[in-house]
Structure 1
Amino acid sequence: MSNTLAIDDSFYRLTSSERYDQVLQLIKKSQSIWALADAEGCLIIDLGTDKVLPIWPTEALASGWGEKDHEGFKGLEISATDWSKKWLPGMQNDKFSVGVAPNLAGECIVSSAEEHAADLQK
């Protein structure tokens, strides 16, 4: 078993709140995050009242999550700087939310781009 798989397995054993906090810490340490994208753009999940961009701390987690229901999507690396300075302001303008590290059942903390940006400043 590779270290990546062990990290992935243990990561999904965390609660949604613990996964959210861990991803925030990684972004604060300037680590990249990962979204899913295809030729047409990033995967956005429409929840009716919210349009959510799911993100993960590793490419393996993002790709593994997307394999089940989102064929053709591949991991898209987003630097911590780009996330904070470009993506979140753009998502605020577009009224998109952030879904941080959904597990395979789709459970995660969903916050507005504004809330997520504020959490990164704490």
Structure 2
Amino acid sequence: MTAEQNEREKIASSDAEQRFDYLISRVVETDELWILTDEQGSVMLNTDDEDCVPVWPDQAFAEQWATGEWSECEAMPITLKQWNFRWTPGLEEDGFAVIVFPLAGEDGDENGLVVWPEELDMMLTREVKRARKK
């Protein structure tokens, strides 16, 4: 197993909070986050309380989700700028939440942290500013 595979397995076995932190750091590093799309647009997930757009830190993690009923979906990058100026206001306006870095596990574990788009936007903006000060 390569170091990268080992790292990816470690991340995949992390809890929702740790995956949230990982996504934030990756987006700061790469300036993009990933969604899955199909012919209708972005894939949506439903929690008990919210309709959510799932986001992932990279293409590979997004594509891991694209199985079964989502096997026709494609991973699509969204730049941080697009996220800040188009996606956050659009999701807020439509009343959608964001589910951060859900995993497709054998047990059907889809647990990612559910946050409001503005909350994710604020975290990303804060971390980008912090990273640029270094």
Return the alpha-carbon distance in structure 2 between the equivalents of residues 68 and 2 of structure 1.
27
Return the alpha-carbon distance in structure 2 between the equivalents of residues 18 and 75 of structure 1.
22
TM-score by length of 1: 0.87
- 8 Å contact kept, 1:30–1:81: no
1:34–1:2 distance in 2 versus 1, CA, 3 Å = farther
1:57–1:90 distance in 2 versus 1, CA, 3 Å = same
1:117 aligns with 2:117: no
Return the alpha-carbon distance in structure 1 between the equivalents of residues 65 and 32 of structure 2.
18
- 8 Å contact kept, 1:38–1:72: yes
Q: Output one character per residue of 1:90-115: Cα deviation in whole Å (capped at 9) or x when no partner.
A: 11111111111012210110011122
Bigger Rg, structure 1 or 2: 2
Most deviating of 16-25 and 2-11: 2-11
TM-score by length of 2: 0.80
Unaligned runs of 5+ in 2: 127-134
Paired residues for 1:1-122 under 5 Å: 1=1, 4-104=4-104, 105-122=109-126
Matched residue pairs, number?
Answer: 122
Q: CA deviation at 1:3?
A: 5.5
Aligned Cα RMSD in Å?
A: 1.8
Q: Output one character per residue of 1:8-29: Cα deviation in whole Å (capped at 9) or x when no partner.
A: 2121122110110121122234
The one-letter code matched in structure 1 to 2:6 is A
Return the alpha-carbon distance in structure 2 between the equivalents of residues 68 and 13 of structure 1.
21
The one-letter code matched in structure 2 to 1:32 is E
Unaligned runs of 5+ in 1: none
Return the alpha-carbon distance in structure 2 between the equivalents of residues 53 and 80 of structure 1.
16
| Percent of paired sites with the same residue | 22
